[in-house]
Amino acid sequence: MVRFNLLENALDSVETGLDYFNKALEGHDRRDYKQCLLNLFQAAELLLKAVVSRNGPGAIFNPASLQEKCVDPAHPTESELHQCKSVNVSQLCKLLKIYHPAEFSESALQMMKTVGQLRNNLQHFALEVRPQELAMQLSELYQQIFRPAFVIIQSDETENSWNSDLRQDIIALEQQFLDITVNQEYTLALCPVCESFSHFILYQGESFPTRTHCICCGFSLNNLQTWDFQECPECSAPSVIYLPKQRAGVCLWYKCEYSKMDGFVPMEPCECGAFRMEGHCSNCDSEES
pLDDT of residue 289: 44
State the pTM of this model.
0.91
DSSP string, 179-243: HHHTTT-EEEE--TTT--S-EEEE-TTSSS--EEEETTT--EE-S--GGG-EE-TTT-SEEEEEE
Q: What is the C-alpha separation between 265 and 251, in angstroms, rounded?
A: 7
Strand partners of residue 277: 267, 280
Give the whole-number percent of the chain exceeding pLDDT 90: 79
Tell me: the pLDDT tens digits for 268-289?
999 888 999 999 988 887 654 4
Q: Which residues, 6 or more positions from 206, have their beta carbon under 8 angstroms from its beta carbon? A: none
Cα-flanking dihedrals φ and ψ of residue 135, to 5°?
-60, -40
The answer to whether the Cα torsion of 122, 126, 131, 137 is positive or negative is negative
265-269 and 248-251 strand pairing:
antiparallel
Mean pLDDT of 140-153: 97
Q: pLDDT band at 160, cuts 50/70/90?
A: low
Tell me: the pLDDT tens digits for 202-213?
999 999 999 999
Return the higher-pLDDT residue of 1 and 106.
106
